[in-house]
Chain A
Amino acid sequence: MTTSKKKTIKWGFFIFFIPVFLWLSLLIILPQLELLRLSFMSTGKPGFTFKNYLAFFREPIYWLTFVRTAMYSILVTFIVMAIALPVSFYITKIARVKASGFLMVLLLVPFWVSELIRVYGWMILLRESGVINQVLVNLGLFKQPVEMLYNDATMIMGLVYTSMLFMVIPIIGVMESLDDSLIEAAYDLGAKKITIWRTIIIPYCMSGIISGAIIVFMLVLGSYLTPNLMGGKNSLWFTEQIYNQIIIYFNWNQGAAFGFLLLILSSLIIWVFLKISGQDLKKVIK
């Protein structure tokens, strides 16, 4: 319209644009590029090298940890999915309406408490001198305390525990909008429970399941505290390798290479998730 109006609009645009641009370029893009650059460098020696990536493939401990981390992350994601579906279903469709609001709040409370404290709680419960052992020994069920911490099963349970809510919340979000009459209609048309789940509920909740799966997978893959505190010496997690390289060995180039590999792995698996389910990231993130 008038020149003055066009000017004010442009002005407003830059007020919005500049901080966002600075944020994304200085804190996301450039650091990632630097990570990539440094992963091809070596301390002391100038020039480009594949040394750090070769080290990853040459040392079985590195790539075995990498594969283990990926596999366990996928496993945890599926376990969480299997538990979250019935929980969400109970809260949205079976519990009385009043109770369901209360259960929702109850569900959210542990989510606000820091991961460290939740893991600490499990440590007090499970360790050799822990509460469960004490109770079981006192009841005479155990002759002597058993170390329940520091093994893969406990670590997986811990990971399931810490990431659970990020699956439940998106699933509840879509399940709430599932019209009860769809289930009633299927029932009325003679469908069995399994059929109703398979043909109505799960397809309807797919977007929630996928966004939950992505968040859970990301959190588990990138988690450090739970594997470190609940897993044993043999249950190394890939983030621990990164931590060791950077903080303990001070080998930043090696750490950068590991970091970049983790980034590629996470992007790849998320991409596969999205492809399999036919969802797109924008929709899922919403």
Chain B
Amino acid sequence: MQIALSVRNLTKKFGDFTAVNDISLDVEDGKFFSILGPSGCGKTTLLRMIAGFYEQTGGHIELRGKDMTNIEPNKRPVNLVFQHLALFPMMNVYENIAFGLRRRGEKSAAIDKKVNDLLERVGLPEAGKKTIDQLSGGQRQRIAIARCLVLEPTVLLLDEPLGALDAKLREHMKIELKKLQTQVGTTFVYITHDQSEAMVMSDGVAVMNAGKFEQVGTPQELYHHPSSSFVAQFVGSNNKLHVTLHKGESSAFSARYSNGKEFSLTGTYDLEDGDAWDLFIRPESVIINPKESSASFNLLQGEVKAILFDGGNSRLLVTPEGSTDELVVALPQTKQFDDIQVKDKIRIGWDSSKSVCFKRADWKIYDDE
């Protein structure tokens, strides 16, 4: 498959501050690729370099194999959907979409056909005469994307365009956007701080932190096999327990929890004395009142602190005995656990293959919402 966008050792410095630090990336043609990271991680800087609004300090950007270094933003075959869309309020919908075509000097008959085709494709065939403020949030979104797609860019860049929408519409637009991308087949590079957006829509995701990529992979890989403490925390929800690691007699590793309990682990770890570690276990991997009791299955006694009912996403907050931590535990709505009350003492447990440990690193993760 052809590579649409290729980034080689890209670096951007603002004075002493390195916003993007030696990043390399290949995005195949026709893929939906996301760059996921907390605000301030450098993802917007990366995007603006690709669009040509910032000049890189080092490295190269290639689009379909063509080096972009000396090409002006208005000559690059990439288009950007802005965070706040930047639709032109002084023009109607039709003129917004026709803007780029007119700048290319296309004939008005050709423009007319392309604009109407695209309005049809984004499901707003009657909207051409409308002004921007007559459109709803979701419609604006589609027009902003249409305005770029009409130019048939090699890569479409999207800068958190769903951020301004309310929660319900955002859920809806995620699916719309994914369908649209599949339908038009244009390569999308999407940046977001919302891991759910990235997971739902993308074929591939790069998790970015402090100017570097922590991990690049499919959403499933990131979720099930995080390669760093940051990814484990940032992608999906996770419980984090402070532990210390030991190598047992049978050369298997085990983790000692603060209440003295030993958890068995799978996998091998590079131990150094005095290292603090974190054990990560996802809420849905923790089983309430498990029947299992094999050696690889870890068990804990705990007290129910609170029941967080949220339909299919209901959870328990459980404090393990001898600890003040609060573990989030998935509460399946299968009637089976309906009798659990606050302050009940329950047993919880997980299979050792479901947990993963990383050296402790205190990432501050800010959520924009």
Contact = CB atoms under 8 A, between A and B. Distances in A.
Direct touch of chains A and B (CB < 8 A): yes
Interface of A: 1-2, 4-5
Contacts of A4: 72
Contacts, number: 7
B70 interface: yes
Contacts of B70: 1-2
Nearest to B72: A5
A5 B70 CA distance: 10
7 contacts: A1-B55, A1-B70, A1-B72, A2-B70, A2-B72, A4-B72, A5-B72
B316 to A, nearest CB: 41
Interface string B71-88: 010000000000000000
A277 to B, nearest CB: 37
Interface size class of B (residues with CB under 8 A): under 10
Interface string B48-82: 00000001000000000000001010000000000
Main secondary structure of the interface of B (DSSP, over half): loop
A1 B71 CA distance: 9
Contacts of A2: 70, 72
Nearest to A5: B72
A10 to B, nearest CB: 16
A113 B118 CA distance: 54
A4 B70 CA distance: 10
Contacts of B72: 1-2, 4-5
Nearest to B54: A1
B54 to A, nearest CB: 9
A127 to B, nearest CB: 54
Contacts of A1: 55, 70, 72
Interface in B345-361: none
Choose among A1, A2, A4 the residue with the greatest number of B CB atoms under 10 Å from its CB: A1
B71 to A, nearest CB: 8
A2 B70 CA distance: 6
A2 B68 CA distance: 11
Interface in B145-194: none
Contacts of A5: 72
B366 to A, nearest CB: 29
A4 B75 CA distance: 13
A4 B74 CA distance: 13
A2 B52 CA distance: 11
A4 to B, nearest CB: 8
Nearest to A1: B55
B68 to A, nearest CB: 11
A2 B55 CA distance: 9
Nearest to A4: B72
Interface string B300-315: 0000000000000000
A2 B75 CA distance: 13
Contacts of B55: 1
A4 B73 CA distance: 13
A8 to B, nearest CB: 9
Nearest to B52: A1
A1 B54 CA distance: 8
Closest A-B pairs by Cβ, 4 of them? A1-B55, A2-B70, A5-B72, A2-B72
B178 to A, nearest CB: 35
A4 B72 CA distance: 9
A2 B73 CA distance: 11
